[in-house]
Structure 1
Amino acid sequence: MIRTLLLDPPLTPSPDDARSSLRRELLKPEYNDQNLVQRLLDGIQRLLDRAVDAASSASLVQTLVAMVALVAIVGAAVWLVTRARTGARHRPGAEPVLPPDEHATGAELRARAESALEQGRHAQALVDGFRALTLHQIEGGRLVDAPGATAREVARSLATTYPAQGERVSVTAGRFDSVLYGDRPATADQARDVLVLDDELRGRR
C-alpha cells in the first residue's frame, strides 16, 4: 500500500504550474508596486529552481516532502500578496474624486473653491477646485460620468482629451490625493493653479 501511495502522482501542482499560477496572480493590475512584485517573483523563481535541482537527485519520498513544502511556501506567498492587494483597494488615493453624497454642481464647487482660497484655506480650495474641474468636464460631456472614479482615473481620461495639458492634469490629480488623503498642506499657488487649469480646460483662457 505504501508503495502504491508513493507511485501515485502527487495531488499537488508541479513547480512549473505553481510558478505560473503565482506569476498570473502577481501580475494582476491591482498590484501597483511593480518593483515589489518583481522582487518577490525573482525570489520565488530562485527558490523553485533550487527545489527542482535538489529534487532531481533526491529519493521519491524526499521529492514528495519537498513538493509539499514548496506548495505551502507558494501558497503563503499568494496569501500575503492577496492581502496586500485587498489593502491596496482601500489605500489613500483609491477613493472617488466626487463623494457619493456630493450633489453640488460644477459652478457651486468652483465658487466654494474660490471662497476657500480667499479665506486662506488652500488645501480645501485645491480639493474643491479639482472636484469642480472634474464635474465641469462631466457636465460638458468631455468626461464620462463614472461614479467612483479616482483622481488618477480622471487624469488619465482627461490626458487623452487634452494631450497638451495631460502632464498638468496628472500633477494636479497627485496633489489632490496628497492633500485629501495624505494630509499634505497646499500652497496658494497650487490651489490657484487648479482654478486656472479648470478655466483652460473649459476654454475660458
Structure 2
Amino acid sequence: MLRSAPPLDPSGDEGRSLLRRELLEPRYREDPISTVLGWIGRRLDAGLQAAEGVPAVSALVAMVLLVLLVIALALLASRARRTARVRAATGDVIATGPVGSAQLRARAEQLLADGESAEALVEAFRALARRQVEQGALSDDPGATAREVVADLTGGPSGTGPGTAATGRLTRAAELFDAVLYGGLPATAEQARDVLALDDELGGVRR
C-alpha cells in the first residue's frame, strides 16, 4: 500500500505551534546591536580574505572604512545602553516610595566619585526635587516633569522663589536632566557638582 502524503496546509493550531517553536530559536533572542556588530565582523573577515588579490592601497582604504564603521556603531551601542541604564535606575523626577533626598544625594555623590557624571547629574536633580518636597516647597507629584518642577519652585508656594541667579541655574539643571535622561547626552563632573551645589543652596545647607 502507498503511504498517503501529509497535508500541505497545517491547521490553525498546528500553524501556531510551529510558529511558537520557530520563535523559540536562539537567533530570535539576540540583541539587535550585537547582531549588527556580528554581521560587520563577518564582513570584515570576508574583506580580509578578499583583500589578498586587491592592490595594497585599495585594501587599506577599505579596511580603514570598515574599522571606522565598527567604532561608530560601538559608540552608538554604548550610548544606547547607557541611556537605558540611566532610565532604568532613575525613574521619575520626583522619586516615589521610601527613598528620601539623603539617599538620592548619597547615590549621586557615589556615582560622581565612580566617574559616572551623567548618572550623577540625574540623581542629583532628583535629590534636589525630593528635598524640596520634604521641605514643603514643592508638591509631591511623581508625574511632574523637570520643567514643571522648575516652574513650581520658581513661583514658590507663597510667591517667593529662589533668586534670579538660582532660577537660571535651576532651569539649566532641568535642561541637562532632560538632555541626559531622554537625549542620551553626556554630562561633565562639573555640571553634576553644580546641581549638587544648587541642591545645597536651595535646601539651606551650609558646607
3-state SS of 1:179 partner: helix
Match of 1:196 in 2: 197
5+ residue gaps, structure 1? 1-94
Task: Read off the aligned partner of 2:189 and give its amino acid letter.
Answer: A
Instruction: Give TM-score, length-normalised by structure 1.
Output: 0.51
Task: Read off the aligned partner of 2:194 and give its amino acid letter.
Answer: D
Match of 2:39 in 1: none
Q: Quote the Cα distance in structure 2 between the aligned partners of 1:187 and 1:117.
A: 10
Q: Quote the Cα distance in structure 2 between the aligned partners of 1:123 and 1:98.
A: 18
TM-superposed CA distance for 1:146, in Å, is 1.7
5+ residue gaps, structure 2? 1-90, 156-160
Residue 114 of structure 1 pairs with residue 109 of structure 2: yes
Task: Read off the aligned partner of 1:178 and give its amino acid letter.
Answer: A
Distance 1:137 1:99, change over 3 A: closer
Distance 1:170 1:140, change over 3 A: same
Q: Quote the Cα distance in structure 1 between the aligned partners of 2:114 and 2:93.
A: 23
Task: Read off the aligned partner of 1:155 and give its amino acid letter.
Answer: V
Residue 126 of structure 1 pairs with residue 111 of structure 2: no
Q: Quote the Cα distance in structure 2 between the aligned partners of 1:156 and 1:121.
A: 28
User: Are the counterparts in 1 of residues 95 and 126 from structure 2 also a CA contact under 8 Å?
Assistant: no
Q: Quote the Cα distance in structure 2 between the aligned partners of 1:194 and 1:201.
A: 10
User: Are the counterparts in 1 of residues 118 and 180 from structure 2 also a CA contact under 8 Å?
Assistant: yes
Aligned-pair Cα RMSD in Å? 1.8
3-state SS of 2:94 partner: coil
Match of 2:67 in 1: none
Distance 1:99 1:139, change over 3 A: closer
Q: Quote the Cα distance in structure 1 between the aligned partners of 2:205 and 2:92.
A: 27
Structure with larger Rg? 2
User: Are the counterparts in 2 of residues 159 and 167 from structure 1 also a CA contact under 8 Å?
Assistant: no
The Cα offsets for residues 140-199 of structure 1, whole Å up to 9 and x where unpaired, read as 111111220000000111122213311110110000000011000000000000000000
Q: Quote the Cα distance in structure 1 between the aligned partners of 2:189 and 2:149.
A: 23
Q: Quote the Cα distance in structure 2 between the aligned partners of 1:147 and 1:124.
A: 19
User: Are the counterparts in 1 of residues 111 and 117 from structure 2 also a CA contact under 8 Å?
Assistant: yes
Match of 2:162 in 1: 162
- Show structure 1 runs of 4+ deviating over 2 A: none
3-state SS of 1:138 partner: helix
Q: Quote the Cα distance in structure 1 between the aligned partners of 2:171 and 2:192.
A: 15
Q: How many residues are paired up?
A: 111
Task: Read off the aligned partner of 2:179 and give its amino acid letter.
Answer: S
Q: Quote the Cα distance in structure 2 between the aligned partners of 1:142 and 1:174.
A: 20
TM-superposed CA distance for 1:137, in Å, is 0.3
Match of 1:151 in 2: 146
Q: Quote the Cα distance in structure 2 between the aligned partners of 1:179 and 1:103.
A: 25
Q: Quote the Cα distance in structure 1 between the aligned partners of 2:174 and 2:117.
A: 15
User: Are the counterparts in 2 of residues 113 and 129 from structure 1 also a CA contact under 8 Å?
Assistant: yes
TM-superposed CA distance for 1:122, in Å, is 0.3
3-state SS of 1:172 partner: helix
Task: Read off the aligned partner of 1:131 and give its amino acid letter.
Answer: R
